[in-house]
Amino acid sequence: MGSNSSRISDLPKNEYLKKLSGTESVSENDPFWNQLLSFSFPAPTSSTELKLLEEATISVCRSLVENNPRTGNLGALIKVFLSRTKELKLSAECQNHIFIWQTHNALFIICCLLKVFICEMSEEELQLHFTYEEKSPGSYCSDSEDLLEELLCCLIQLITDIPLLDITYEISVEAISTMVVFLSCQLFHKEVLRQSISHKYLMRGPCLPYTSKLVKTLLYNFIRQEKPPPPGASVFPQQSDGGGLLYGLASGVATGLWTVFTLGGVGSKAAVTPELSSPLANQSLLLLLVLANLTDAPDAPNPYRQAIISFKNTQDSSPFPSSIPHAFQINFNSLYTALCEQQTSDQATLLLYTLLHQNSNIRTYMLARTDMENLVLPILEILYHVEERNSHHVYMALIILLILTEDDGFNRSIHEVILKNITWYSERILTEISLGSLLILVVIRTIQYNMTRTRDKYLHTNCLAALANMSAQFRSLHQYAAQRIISLFSLLSKKHNKVLEQATQSLRGSLSSNDVPLPDYAQDLNVIEEVIRMMLEIINSCLTNSLHHNPNLVYALLYKRDLFEQFRTHPSFQDIMQNIDLVITFFSSRLLQAGAELSVERVLEIIKQGLVALPKDRLKKFPELKFKYVEEEQPEEFFIPYVWSLVYNSAVGLYWNPQDIQLFTMDPD
């Protein structure tokens, strides 16, 4: 390897790349491959660096696209890589740095080439490029082994079988990235792909038996959050020492090799964002989500989704039913800890949603935990900072809460967990509050944000459904949480009056002018009345089921009793207002008897005495409020673009030109 440093812009003129992509065939046994693969440069760490690399090598890649039908050099490169991977495990055990280094470089080149090939041609054309060999122009070998399938299987084996060491870290990341690239054809289609060559290979044939092992490995990579090896510990030569031992050894293997080039200047290193402190964990999670969201084959369900929805705890000794394929076991405690710690990223929240929604084993385990605050608090923080999150991340966090609140045990236990000094909640200093009250505060804040900003009915519905699920189990509500419940009702009441006034004025205007189209105030009124009724049902559910536990809610009701007056005789709310009206009347009477100018403490004391005195049978029973999350029909229409937007924005070492992307009809965020 040459010791001179050159600019990345020199890559298109590099002799070895020009030979690979040129018109001359290179045999897989040619010493040229040792020369080609003996290069070193710091891995790109930002989209800017990746864009520079792609722009510098695109002409080389396109030249190979043009010449490969005559040369078969892509197939030769892949065969060189495949032959090396057969000895990779032994090389790792023997600490054969050079062999692993060159094998990684082969995979890196393959990944870069594949990305361009997939972007510029159909899967059928790509498959054909894997069959071209060194023969007459455009000939291919139809009876040879399927090289594309063999490469996919090899990547899976590399991910699952090669031990994770400092010297194998980078090649493990590259193998996962290459699998993501293989599946990236979805990015270049507007519609969800329901049949794909790469999907077919992954769901049957020699790749299929590795399903559970691959899913388990990717999950453990996420759990362990292994950081990259420190400088000097990986297989790659470090430029700062002028070459070093490995550089000297490599120079002995090949002469006249590539010149070393750097990205972003010699010695520069982009800052690593917290969520990417482990590239291996990040890439593993993205690949796992891509695999889990592949569409089913016409004749078989997605095996990776089957594996994800059926795995069990390592402490669960019960046998797997024979009807469950691809089953495996994993340490639930370690998985739970990782999920709690990683919720700042969209992909970790999406994984949590997937597991809670689809894997009954993990859902049962999580709901039985006595430290649910470790999981719930990060989810609440996502919702609290709704302005800084994309809408998909907010939806996933909200649906997770909805799924959790379907469980009565969860709804009881969250009011028993007392939290101190929630620093990220800035509206009010909360020195001590229950997890349940904090959850109510954050959900109500999300509703109010939605009312003034996004006005998304779906978000409204799910927020109210979560509150409704919890309402029968409200216990010892914090005074601020009780105030916010009534304040939300006040906001809705004002909005109802405003829309009603607008509708009335509009109706009067329509009598004098028949030509002007009128806003649909009737529809707006119906929507807001639905929300108001839901809020009244939530308040009523708490009063009916746990009145004696919630003096602060009664206090807030009495303080704002005038709000409810207009709804007593409203035909849409008369039934649900009975209990609320009874409670307000009962406690107002007791306060009146106690005299005027009562202190807050004295009012609360009278309320607590009244809670004991109020006969329970005077409150009318209503059906229990229970809402269950139901996934939309054809969920892949939402989840597949969402997952690929995460890959597009979060993948380490991968860059796609935004102008080439077809899947997103708008900005992925």
List residues bridging with 462 in a β-sheet.
none
Q: How far is CA 648 from CA 14, 187, 202, 419, in A?
A: 29, 9, 22, 38
- Judged against a pLDDT cut of 70, whether residue 594 lies above it is answered with yes
Contact (Cβ atoms closer than 8 angstroms) between residue 247 and residue 237: yes
Average per-residue pLDDT for the chain: 85
| CA atoms of 337 and 347, how far apart (whole Å) | 16
pLDDT at 45: 66
The predicted-structure confidence for 209-257, as pLDDT tens digits, reads as follows 999 999 999 999 999 999 998 876 655 554 444 333 333 333 333 333 3
List, for residues 510-542, the tens digit of each pLDDT value: 655 555 555 667 777 888 889 999 999 999 999
Work out the burial of residue 622: count CB atoms within 10 Å of its CB; fewer than 13 is exposed, 13-18 middle, 19 or more buried: middle
pLDDT band at 2 (very low <50, low <70, confident <90, very high): very low
Q: Going by DSSP bridges, is the β-strand pair 329-330/312-313 parallel, antiparallel, or unpaired?
A: parallel
Return the higher-pLDDT residue of 594 and 414.
414
Calculate the alpha carbon distances from 404 to 365, 446, 603 in Å. Answer: 12, 17, 35
Q: Is the pLDDT of residue 551 over 70?
A: yes
548 Cα distance to chain centroid: 41
CB-count exposure of residue 426 (10 Å: 0-12, 13-18, 19+): exposed
pTM beyond 0.75 = yes
Q: Which two tokens stand for residue 50?
A: 């990746």
What tokens were used for 499? 């829309």
Burial tier of 258 (Cβ tally within 10 Å: 0-12, 13-18, 19+): buried
pLDDT on residue 274: 43
Rounded mean pLDDT, 459-484? 95
The enclosing H or E element of 610 equals: helix 600-613
pLDDT on residue 456: 78
pLDDT of residue 5: 32
Please give the average per-residue pLDDT across 496-505, as a whole number.
84
> How would residue 133 be classed by pLDDT, with cut points 50, 70 and 90?
confident
Is 253:38 a contact under the CB 8 Å cutoff?
yes
pLDDT tens column, 600-649: 999 999 999 999 988 888 888 888 899 999 887 788 889 999 999 999 98
Q: CB within 8 A of 321, min separation 6: which ones?
A: none
Quote the pLDDT of residue 602: 93
Q: Is 419 helix (H, G, I), strand (E, B) or coil?
A: strand
Mean predicted confidence (pLDDT) in 389-399: 93
Residue 143: the pLDDT is: 41
Is the model's pLDDT at 503 over the cut of 90? no
Q: Which residue has the tokens 């965020």?
A: 669
Closest among 96, 90, 92, 269 to 172, alpha carbons compared = 92
Instruction: Output 631 or 287, whichever has higher pLDDT.
Output: 287
Q: Is the pLDDT of residue 26 over 50?
A: yes
The model's pLDDT over 310-367, given as tens digits with 9 standing for 90+, comes to 999 999 988 888 778 898 999 999 999 999 999 999 999 999 999 999 999 999 999 9
Residues 58-88: pLDDT tens digits? 889 999 999 999 999 999 999 999 999 988 8
CA 356 to chain CA centroid, nearest Å: 13
- Looking at the predicted structure, is the pLDDT value of residue 454 above 80? no
* 3-class DSSP assignment, residue 392: helix
pLDDT digits (tens, 9 = 90+) for 300-318: 899 999 999 999 999 998 8
Quote the pLDDT of residue 263. Answer: 34
